Amino acid sequence: MKKVAIVTDTTACIPKDQVEKHGIEVVPVEFIFGDKVYRDGIDMSPSEFYERLRQAKKLPTTSGSLPGPFLEAYGKASQRAASILCITLSAKLSGMFNSARLAKEMAKKALPDVDIGVLDCGTAAAAQGLIVLAAARAATQGKNLTEVVETTRKVMQRVNLFATLDTLHYLVKGGRVPKAAALASSLLRIKPIFTISEGDAHPVTNPRTISGAIKRILKIMEQKVVKGQPLHVAVMHADARDKAVALSNRISSQFDCDELIITEFTPVMGVHTGPGLIGVAFYSGD
């Protein structure tokens, strides 16, 4: 039995092979499409989701986060380890962190002998995924909960995320950006780059093409990567695998990567961004 088991949710967009390799317990976030509730990563594949999304007259929504699924995940993880670390996306972007904390309180009765820590990682998507993978590696190395949390916090301070959107249509529909911004984006034909810092999404710059946006993201990487230190990278996409592979190849040829994965935006993330998103998360150091 390991000292620590890692729990997260599907917003981390971690590829299934990495989940299985590191024994990560993943909570499936639910979303509503039509009149049905689907479990992210279980009931509908990303390719099917984006195909339906393009044709949908009524857009899907995410359902409210509940502590029950986290408590269930804690129960499963407790069978493999004496302690648990749950890592959620930014509390400013979702209620997931609060649900995970409520589940921790509930677990005091259900799992009285299990020590549970809950961390808001301050970011989301592939950046969250890289943080979770770093924590899982630390757990595999036999570190205790305090040591795994320390490792996780160090990566949280260094991780970066930059992505470009093909359209602001879905963010407008979800109420996350004003209609005027989407109209300006459409008229000017820009492909905005955004980042996540201090737990919230922020615009960076507004290239006019996806290729221009990718060049800009690579330039930002050049400025932020610490030479001589191990580089961990996750290329993320929303139904744009060809672009993701091309970006991954460019990163591989331009940087010396210790870790380089391609991951797809799961449906629960794609609800907000729509198809066509392409981006990268990365950090330097162990």
CATH numbers and ranges of domains, the chain: 2-29+65-156 (3.40.50.10440), 160-284 (3.30.1180.10)
Provide the edge-to-edge strand list for the sheet that holds 278-284.
Answer: 200-205, 193-197, 160-164, 278-284, 231-237, 259-264
Tokens of 154: 């160090």
Mean pLDDT (whole number) for 233-260: 96
Q: Which of 59, 69, 67 is nearest to 32 (CA)?
A: 59
Q: How would residue 252 be classed by pLDDT, with cut points 50, 70 and 90?
A: very high
Q: Residue 140 belongs to what H/E stretch?
A: helix 125-140
CA dist 2 → 31, 155, 206, 262 (Å): 33, 22, 46, 28
pLDDT for residue 173: 61
- Cα–Cα distance measured from residue 177 to residue 77, given in angstroms and rounded to the nearest whole number: 38
Place of tokens 């509940």: 66
- Cα–Cα distance measured from residue 121 to residue 130, given in angstroms and rounded to the nearest whole number: 10
- Max mean pLDDT among 55-59, 98-102, 171-175 falls in 98-102
Mean pLDDT (whole number) for 49-55: 93
Helical spans, DSSP H, in 42-120 = 46-55, 67-77, 96-110
pLDDT in tens, 62-115: 887 899 999 999 999 999 999 999 999 999 988 999 999 999 999 999 999 999
pLDDT for residue 189: 67
Q: Residue 192 pLDDT more than 80?
A: yes
Judged on CB neighbours under 10 Å (0-12, 13-18, 19+), 36 is: exposed
pLDDT for residue 100: 98
Share of the chain above pLDDT 90, in %: 74
Q: Is 241 helix (H, G, I), strand (E, B) or coil?
A: helix
Share of the chain above pLDDT 70, in %: 93
Q: Residue 197 pLDDT more than 70?
A: yes
pLDDT in tens, 107-164: 999 999 999 999 999 999 999 999 999 999 999 999 999 999 999 999 999 999 999 9
Q: Which of 89, 103, 76, 72 is nearest to 132 (CA)?
A: 89
Mean pLDDT (whole number) for 218-236: 96
Q: Is 81 helix (H, G, I), strand (E, B) or coil?
A: strand
pLDDT for residue 262: 97
pLDDT for residue 22: 94
Greater pLDDT, 72 or 200: 72
Greater pLDDT, 71 or 185: 71
DSSP one-letter code for 124:
-
Mean pLDDT (whole number) for 165-187: 57
Q: Residue 180 pLDDT more than 50?
A: no
